[in-house]
C-alpha cells in the first residue's frame, strides 16, 4: 500500500523559481550565487510557513551543484544533487535548535566544522528555530560564526528574530520573509488541485487562503483536510461548513437590512447566525472586515486591496454604491467598539444586537440634513407666526402696539425640576422698581408693518392673544416663607463657594418686591449677575410672584485692622494715642526711649 504524503511535503518547492511569494529574496540569493558574493552566515526570519527552511535547502543544494544552469538553478543530475534529493548528502547538515540548544550541542557542531567536505565546494549547516539556543550556546557559537573556514556556510532560520542576541545578528546577512498574499496562495492551491485532479471552486480556494493567514503550509494542510471531507470536488459550501466560516452572503444580507432600516430582519438574521453555532466575536470580526472591504471599493484606486475572488469583488462593487462613506466610517467605529467591549460584556448577544440597531439609525440621518433651530419657549397661549392684528384692537386708542424684530431666544439649562414657561422672565430684571407699571402690549417675534394707506385685511388668523404684565401672578409672601425659599436656593449652589458665600453671608433686604443682596466685593457681584436669570426664575416660581426683582449692593467696610506693637517706639506711640498725658509726662521728666 502506497503511503500518503501531505501536500506541504509533496509540493514543496525544489527550485528558486517555484518558491511562492518571496520573489525579492530568491532573486537576491540567485544574484549572490551568480556573482560569488556569498556571506559566511545568513539569517532567514519571518512567520511560519513562508519558505524559510525551503529557501535554505534550495540554496544549500544550488551552491554545491556541479552544473548550475544559466538561470542559477540546480541541475538535479550531478552526484551532489542526487545525494541531496535522496537526503543522503554529507555536506548539508540540519540542526533543530529547539532540541539541541545546549553548549555541548554547539561544541559538537564546531568540531564538525573543522572537517572539510569530501565532495562539493561547501559544507552547509542549517539551524532551524535558532532563537531557542541558550545564551551560553550563542556565546559559544560567536567565534565560529564570525570566522568560519572558507568552505563552511551557516543558514539560521527563526520566527522570533527579537529573541536572538545582537552579537549574532551583527554576524549575519538578514533576510525578512513576508506573509504570502491570499492571491498567491490561491494560485498555488489551484496548481495543486489540478495536479491532484481535484475540481475546486475559485471562491473555495480563496476562503482556504484567507483562513491560512499568510502561511502556505497551513493552506496546504487545510486543502488536504477539505479533500478528505469532499473527495475530488471542493465546493464553496463544503469549505465554509468544514472550516466553520460564515458565508459572505450573511454579511451582504446584514448590510442590506441595515441600509433598508429593517430592524426585524436584522434581529432574525443574527438569531440565525447564533443558531448555527457561530460566536458573536466571529461575526463582529467578519462584519468589520466586510465593512472595510466596502469602504475600500469606494475608490477605484483601492479596489486592488480586496483579497477575494472576482465574483465576490463584483458584489462588493455593487453594494458600495448604496453606502455613503459617512455611514461606513460610523458603522466601523461602532463595530470596533463592540469588539473591544465584547470580552467584558455579560450579555454578549445584547451587545451585538444593540450595535447593529445603532447602525440602522445611522441611515435615518441623511448627510445633508441640518439641525433645526430650537424654538423659543412660548407662553401658555399659542402664538401663530405673522398673524393679522384684529381691526378692533388696531384702532383702539387704549392699546399701544409695539413693533419688535424677531428675537432668537437661547435655551438655558433648567436650574430646578421645573422651569416656568414664561417668555418675559429674562427681560423682567430691572435695577430699580417701577411703581404702577402700565399694561404694555408685546408682540413676540412678530413684525407688523404700519401702512396707513393699506386698508386690506390679511387672510391669516385674527385671534392673537396680547399678554400684559397683569397676566402674571403676584402673590404676597411672608419673611419666614421667603427665608425658607432663599435657603433652598443657596443650597443649590453649595458647590460654588463664591456664589454660596454671597447668598448666605448677609441676609437679603426686601423692599416692595425688590430683593437687595448684600455682598462684600465685585467678584461676588459678577457671580450673582452671571446666574441672575436662574436665580430670578427659581424665586418667582417658588414665591408665585413674578414682580420680584434682584439687585446687589456692595458693603463698604472701613474697619482698620488693629496694629500690633513690637518695637518700643511703636508701643509708646500706641500709648500716647490712647493717653495723651503720657506725652506730657515724658516731656516733663525729659524721658527718652532706650534701645
Question: Quick one: 206 and 305 in the same domain?
Answer: no
The answer on pLDDT for 421 being more than 50 is no
Q: Among positive and negative, which fits the CA dihedral 194, 197, 202, 203?
A: negative
pLDDT tens track for 371-383: 444 454 454 444 4
**Which residues lie across from 124 on neighbouring strands?**
92, 153
Domain with 95 in it: what CATH number? 3.40.50.300
Question: Quick one: 50 and 135 in the same domain?
Answer: yes
Q: Which residues touch 556 (CB under 8 Å, ≥6 apart)? A: none
Residue 212, domain extent: 182-242
pLDDT tens track for 54-77: 999 999 999 988 888 888 888 888
- For the chain, how many structural domains are there in total? 3
Residue 157: Cβ within 10 Å count = 24
- Looking at the chain, the whole-number percentage of residues with pLDDT higher than 70 is 79
d(C-alpha 348, C-alpha 82), whole Å = 60
Domain with 320 in it: what CATH number? 1.20.272.10
Residue 347 C-beta-side C-alpha neighbours within 13 Å: 5
Least confident of 139-143, 178-182, 222-226, 431-435: 431-435
Mean pLDDT of the chain: 79
Question: Quick one: 200 and 135 in the same domain?
Answer: no
Question: Quick one: 118 and 205 in the same domain?
Answer: no
Least confident of 127-131, 144-148, 401-405: 401-405
d(C-alpha 45, C-alpha 64), whole Å = 23
Question: Quick one: 262 and 355 in the same domain?
Answer: yes
**Is 164 within 8 Å of 193 (Cβ atoms)?**
no
CA separation, residue 179 to residues 183, 223, 544 (Å): 12, 18, 77
Question: Quick one: 254 and 281 in the same domain?
Answer: yes
What pLDDT does 243 receive? 83
CA separation, residue 434 to residues 2, 467, 474, 510 (Å): 113, 18, 14, 15
Work out whether strand 509-511 and strand 173-176 pair parallel, antiparallel, or are unpaired: unpaired
Question: Quick one: 332 and 306 in the same domain?
Answer: yes
Question: Quick one: 163 and 189 in the same domain?
Answer: no
d(C-alpha 278, C-alpha 180), whole Å = 28
**Is 284 within 8 Å of 352 (Cβ atoms)?**
yes
The answer on pLDDT for 366 being more than 60 is no
The answer on pLDDT for 370 being more than 50 is no
What pLDDT does 551 receive? 87
Domain with 194 in it: what CATH number? 1.10.8.60
Question: Quick one: 213 and 113 in the same domain?
Answer: no
Domain assignment of residue 132, yes or no: yes
d(C-alpha 524, C-alpha 213), whole Å = 68
Strand order across the 41-45 sheet: 92-96, 123-128, 152-158, 41-45, 173-176
pLDDT tens track for 242-278: 888 888 888 999 999 999 989 899 999 999 888 888 8
Of 275, 281, 310, 305, the residue nearest 293 (C-alpha): 305
The answer on pLDDT for 455 being more than 80 is no
Question: Quick one: 232 and 280 in the same domain?
Answer: no
Least confident of 151-160, 410-419, 513-522: 410-419
**Is 13 within 8 Å of 51 (Cβ atoms)?**
yes
The residue out of 176, 197, 231 marking a domain boundary is: 176
Amino acid at each position: 500500500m502506497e503511503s500518503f504524503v501531505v501536500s506541504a511535503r509533496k509540493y514543496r518547492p525544489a527550485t528558486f523559481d517555484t518558491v511562492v511569494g518571496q520573489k525579492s529574496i530568491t532573486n537576491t540569493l540567485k544574484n549572490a550565487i551568480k556573482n560569488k558574493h556569498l556571506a559566511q552566515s545568513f539569517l532567514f526570519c519571518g512567520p511560519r510557513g513562508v519558505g524559510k527552511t525551503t529557501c535554505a535547502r534550495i540554496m544549500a543544494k544550488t551552491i554545491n551543484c556541479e552544473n548550475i544552469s544559466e538561470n542559477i538553478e540546480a541541475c538535479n543530475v550531478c552526484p551532489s544533487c542526487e545525494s541531496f534529493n535522496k537526503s543522503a548528502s554529507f555536506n548539508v547538515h540540519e540542526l533543530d535548535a529547539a532540541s539541541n540548544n545546549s553548549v555541548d550541542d554547539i561544541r559538537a557542531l564546531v568540531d564538525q566544522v573543522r572537517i572539510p567536505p569530501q565532495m562539493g565546494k561547501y559544507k552547509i549547516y542549517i539551524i532551524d528555530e535558532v532563537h531557542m539556543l541558550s545564551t551560553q550556546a550563542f556565546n559559544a557559537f560567536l567565534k565560529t560564526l564570525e570566522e568560519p573556514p572558507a568552505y563552511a556556510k551557516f543558514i539560521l532560520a527563526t520566527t522570533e528574530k527579537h529573541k536572538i542576541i545582537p552579537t549574532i545578528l551583527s554576524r549575519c546577512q538578514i533576510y525578512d520573509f513576508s506573509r504570502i498574499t491570499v492571491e498567491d496562495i490561491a494560485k498555488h492551491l489551484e496548481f495543486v488541485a489540478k495536479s491532484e485532479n481535484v475540481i475546486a471552486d475559485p471562491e473555495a480556494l480563496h476562503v482556504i487562503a484567507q483562513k491560512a493567514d499568510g502561511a502556505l503550509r497551513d493552506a496546504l494542510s487545510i486543502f488536504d483536510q477539505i479533500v478528505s471531507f469532499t473527495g475530488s470536488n471542493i465546493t464553496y459550501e463544503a469549505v465554509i461548513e468544514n472550516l466553520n466560516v460564515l458565508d459572505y452572503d450573511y454579511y451582504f444580507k446584514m448590510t442590506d437590512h441595515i441600509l433598508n432600516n429593517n430592524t426585524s430582519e436584522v434581529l432574525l438574521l443574527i438569531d440565525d447566525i447564533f443558531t448555527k453555532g457561530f460566536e458573536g466575536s466571529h461575526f463582529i470580526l467578519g462584519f468589520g472586515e466586510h465593512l472595510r472591504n466596502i469602504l475600500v471599493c469606494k475608490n477605484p484606486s483601492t479596489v486592488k486591496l480586496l483579497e477575494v475572488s472576482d465574483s465576490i469583488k463584483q458584489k462588493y462593487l455593487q453594494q458600495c454604491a448604496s453606502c455613503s462613506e459617512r455611514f461606513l466610517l460610523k458603522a466601523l467605529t461602532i463595530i470596533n467598539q463592540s469588539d473591544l467591549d465584547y470580552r467584558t460584556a455579560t450579555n454578549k448577544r445584547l451587545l451585538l444586537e444593540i450595535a447593529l440597531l445603532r447602525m440602522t439609525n445611522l441611515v435615518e440621518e441623511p448627510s445633508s440634513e441640518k439641525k433645526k433651530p430650537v424654538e423659543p419657549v412660548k407662553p401658555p397661549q399659542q402664538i401663530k407666526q405673522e398673524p393679522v392684528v384684529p381691526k378692533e384692537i388696531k384702532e383702539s386708542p387704549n392699546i399701544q402696539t409695539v413693533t419688535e424684530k424677531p428675537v432668537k431666544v437661547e435655551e438655558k439649562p433648567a436650574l430646578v425640576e421645573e422651569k416656568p414657561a414664561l417668555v418675559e422672565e429674562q427681560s423682567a430684571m430691572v435695577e430699580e422698581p417701577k411703581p404702577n407699571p402700565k399694561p404694555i402690549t408685546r408682540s413676540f417675534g412678530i413684525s407688523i408693518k404700519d401702512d396707513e394707506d393699506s386698508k386690506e385685511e390679511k387672510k391669516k388668523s385674527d385671534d392673537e392673544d396680547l399678554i400684559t404684565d397683569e397676566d402674571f401672578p403676584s402673590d404676597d409672601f411672608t419673611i419666614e416663607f421667603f427665608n425658607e425659599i432663599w435657603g433652598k436656593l443657596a443650597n443649590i449652589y453649595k458647590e460654588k463657594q463664591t456664589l454660596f458665600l454671597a447668598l448666605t453671608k448677609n441676609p437679603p433686604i426686601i423692599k416692595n418686591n425688590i430683593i437687595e443682596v448684600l455682598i462684600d466685593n465685585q467678584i461676588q457681584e459678577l457671580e450673582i449677575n452671571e446666574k441672575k436669570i436662574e436665580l430670578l426664575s427659581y424665586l418667582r416660581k417658588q414665591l408665585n410672584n413674578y414682580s420680584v426683582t434682584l439687585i446687589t449692593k456692595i458693603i463698604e467696610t472701613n474697619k482698620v485692622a488693629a496694629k500690633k506693637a513690637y518695637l518700643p517706639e511703636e508701643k509708646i506711640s500706641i500709648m500716647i494715642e490712647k493717653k495723651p498725658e503720657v506725652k506730657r509726662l515724658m516731656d516733663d521728666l525729659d524721658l527718652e526711649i532706650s534701645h
